[in-house]
Structure 1
């Protein structure tokens, strides 16, 4: 341990201990904790720093909050070891059974994998796990933040996956010493499983092709991939990754749904189920189950996958269609509501007058005001470019379009729209702020909001509004969040008698019905939208 990195001395000769804090996200700046040791004695300062550094190491290796779901982590670790296992099995297939001499290292590894976690890593990495963990995260696609924030979790899952990979290898090795004659022959095993389009037709191979295609055409945002793969990973747990696609039936889909309805929430985290297989976990009583909304989320992913599989010749039929719980799933789900009037007034007053001093930047002020008076989504606001504020026929408007920045993201085609500037934004001086940005040569309205693959541009503003502003104003609740401003706009316009298709056009919801989708495809004029949005008032 190099204490020089942790110690600094003030101009008065007092020693300070400095401890680097892990970044919670790639977009965050590196920060440190600085603590006075209240001594000028180098020896005593060294002793105190050594103790504090050891405490810091212990805390760092405890499980901390993570941006990564546990099932997403398991999917990546499983893929890594599955690839390693495939390489070893391919070698057995090519060269045949291993000799006693070659078997010895495998047996040693198997014994090590059954040891305690502490002994496992002490033997495998006697000099510490930090460097190895970083290398493993890079090789497996796990974010480096997991190695910093949750090393204990990654190390634990690594050991479990490593152990079970060796068990699978051993089972396959032993199978080479026997021939099976008594088991009934499945007709699907008589020929190599091939789908109608000539590709290998196992479930895992179809999933791999499905994910790769969506990556290639950019259908999913980066943050969506891990969640999709985690959901499909559960499907392989239930049906088996080597299950032939054409043999999967509607009865199998019903069996999957039954398991989902009994699936414990956070089954890989809670003590009662984290060591159990999927089929064992669903039998555990007295644990909280996943919500109906989560069940529908899984089924939606499965339905989309099998729709694709049927179109591309992997599956004989579309499955999971019509199996979602639907309205019954949303009955118990919490509904987002509009801001209460007093809460909205408190937010508006602080943002415009800054009595408490919570508004630290122009971006805090103007991005929040746009949220109040435009009903736009968080990321739509934070990704605004200077060129997106335009004028047409005397009306100023936000031209929300996917041009000018490759990082721009919109939820749907309906989200690409024109939103007139509310009269209050004009009164408060948004155009002056816009002109100032132009004078400075800025391309973006809020350049201090950095882009993250997972959260787009909106993470910093969302955290400030939800974690700093509303608690300080004494109005924090599950409804008083940034997205609640959008619900407030919708509610107020509906209460003002504005027709639904008009306020749907303002907030970027798809307009429903033949009349709107066929006969009114061009939508409403800026003048119509301007007259509607100006009816909103704080």
Structure 2
């Protein structure tokens, strides 16, 4: 018997029906799976029942996706997903160091291209359709692409804006690493980290390099 992916056999020999619910059809924007017992051990009966349930599930899912996510829900969903990946990118920089200038130039070039796609109503990736382009980014950022044309267009437009601002935020973060801001720093007392290096005063004479001046070792004064 052909065993579709939506049929599952339990340890007790009972067939179960499984149906995936995409994020865009879920009220909380999370991917999940519906699982229900078919209450039969007969393969033919399980296949017959699963076909009936498949038709119903496809109808419900299609109608749900046709209604699509509300505008605010789309923005919240994209903000949540891209915020997660922005934090991941920042952490990678924290662990590995700032990227090269070539990478910075590439990021800034991507911002220009995204703005052109927004103004021109063109795909983000050259040579692909709008759907192929969005699906490419969906694989990377881990989100579902709506099937309904109206819902897709709305989601696609918002993703372009979100992706542009994701890139801008990451570039802005990288630029903060080009300098150090000491404008609000006050001269500390002798730092604890240096105290272990200060030798006790000899009986006659003191080493100049170990005399703190205004809390700063002489060797650092300029």
Provide TM-score, normalisation by structure 2: 0.46
Q: TM-score, normalised by structure 1?
A: 0.21
